[in-house]
Structure 1
């Protein structure tokens, strides 16, 4: 990947400063209510959950230190807006939920937030609002992609197997002949010198995977590139593919091959868009209808 330019950094920081000031993020009484933005956001997240949400889930979702989260929850509890309970499946864990007063407060908070957003948009024409909405959608997708992490994991890890199980279920639903999960790579095929397995995470939750295994000297094979439906159309599949290619190069494997089913037309388009060319069959894989190859040494 290309290094981040100072111009890109400055543009993002300039937008952050302007927008946070405009919405009152620096005010201790956000939206004119008796709490700062952090507590208001936490109240919103608790309300969005509907029922009791585990504190550990809130920590992961919001990226908060446990002590800081505990202090904010206590502040909301002291205001009578939330209550803590023991987790129904784990007495050592706790959940938090809105009280009746909290539900009233979050309704008013949402009303004020909608009014603030309406005020911001009011100075634009209908065409400008459409342009802004489209731009915000693009920004949201790209910022989600930027915040995702891709980590190498053991092929036998729970996250790896969970991703593969979801991948297999997707293919079983899409392939006319179904999909037999025994076709999945084994942990041994994607471990050590034999290969590698990567999982993509969003807020601590696995949302994608991809595997690499050695076929022969200098040649690697990409397997099981999968993205959770909630994380599709972000560009994550391409990022996973780039990660696998980088891992192949790191291992001295300068040719990467893969196959795909005939019904997976979006996958075929992605591979072509990423520089793969279609080649004759290099295997007798039962689910393969197209075979592709990319020579990484030619990519510069």
Structure 2
């Protein structure tokens, strides 16, 4: 690895550590370090089960126990046995803890706004932050079935159309591109899969079925912040697995040769080019894969 690049990464880490207050004994002048404040924040966000809290914050058991005891000593939280499972514990904010959570939220919003104000192109700064966030948390990305009419699916579809409009230098109309009945993208005919990090949509792919053994891959999209991390391949593998589980034996898809990254991925994953199988106006390449 290039040493100059290593130094750039380390410089970035030092800057972030200072900016987020990792070195402060009193984070945001509230009398406790960042670690304690972060635990309080996570509990306020709903991570009340101690084991889930530990997994969310990626803390070892000993450190989390010490941080919880410190917050209990301040009467900011209470930890009690889980009434649904006596082997586990849950922790909740006290009234004082809720007040402190609200104060931290307000101060954190102010700090975030101040950071954005330093750059004359805040959108560029946010996009760079998203790339870093997704890269660091790539192992936390989840894949889940989604309703094609849900808010997160609609967001992905709008982003998909905007992305294709830009790449193909035209106005991409979803209705002209193999519009599907909702039932074709949900079991038992098909499925629609979302990749997300927390509440951040990162990608999607649909399997459009008709009850037979042949189905189509539709609406494959990856958010710019998640590109270069192998997410497209993981989504395609997920779609193929879902299709097999639905009894589908052959998948087809269409794409445009201008989308060279996608074309390369499909060929690398064993998709074979075939003749045109519909009259949609946008694609010029057609592929098939037997599962």
Same fold flag (TM > 0.5)? yes
Q: Which residue of the partner structure matches residue 286 of structure 2? A: 291
Q: Which residue of 106, 109, 112 corresponds with 1:96?
A: 106
SS at match of 1:194: coil
TM-score normalized with structure 1 length: 0.57
SS in 1 for 2:261: helix
- Contact (CA 8 Å) 1:155, 1:186: kept in 2 or not? no
Pick one of 162, 168, 173 that aligns with 1:175.
168
Matched ranges for 1:192-271 at <5 A: 192-214=187-209, 217-271=212-266
Q: Distance in 1 between matches of 2:94 and 2:266?
A: 43
Which of 83, 94, 106 matches 2:103?
Answer: 83
Distance 2:153 2:144 in 1: 11
**Gap regions ≥5 residues in structure 1:** 1-29, 46-54, 85-94, 108-136
Matched residue SS, 1:160 = helix
Contact 1:258 1:293 (8 Å CA) reproduced: yes
Equivalences for residues 52-63 of structure 1 within 5 A:
63=56
User: How far, CA to CA, are the matches of 2:96 and 2:238 in structure 1?
Assistant: 39
Please state whether the residue corresponding to 2:103 is helix, strand or coil.
Answer: strand
2:240 equivalent to 1:275: no
Contact between 1:215 and 1:221, CA under 8 Å: does it hold in 2?
A: no
SS in 2 for 1:161: helix
Deviations 1:240-272 (A, max 9, x none): 111110011001112111110121111101111
| Deviations, residues 168-197 of structure 1 (Å, cap 9, x unaligned) | 111112213321121343423212322111
How is 1:131-210 mapped onto 2 (pairs within 5 angstroms)?
A: 141=135, 144-182=137-175, 183=177, 184-210=179-205
CA 1:232–1:73: 2 relative to 1, 3 Å: farther
SS of the aligned residue for 2:221 comes to strand
Contact in 2 for aligned 1:145/1:235 (Cα 8 Å): no
Unaligned stretches of 5+ residues in structure 2: 1-21, 27-31, 49-54, 58-89, 116-130
Report how far residue 69 of structure 1 moved. 11
CA separation of 1:69 and 1:269: change in aligned 2, threshold 3 A: farther
Question: Is this contact kept in 2: 1:190–1:197, CA < 8 A?
Answer: yes
Q: Is the 8 A contact 2:187 2:246 kept in 1?
A: no
**Corresponding residue of 1:38:** 35
Which stretch shows the higher mean deviation, 63-72 or 155-164? 63-72
Q: Structure 1 residues 41 and 261, CA, compared in 2 at 3 Å: closer, same or farther?
A: same
In 2, the alpha carbon distance for the partners of 1:294 and 1:68 equals 53
1:125-166 Cα offsets, whole Å, 9 max, x none, are xxxxxxxxxxxx99x83x633210011011111111111111
Secondary structure of 1:169's match?
helix
Aligned match of 1:120: none
1:168 and 1:181 in contact (8 A); partners too:
yes
Query: 1 CA distance for matches of 2:95 and 2:236?
Result: 39
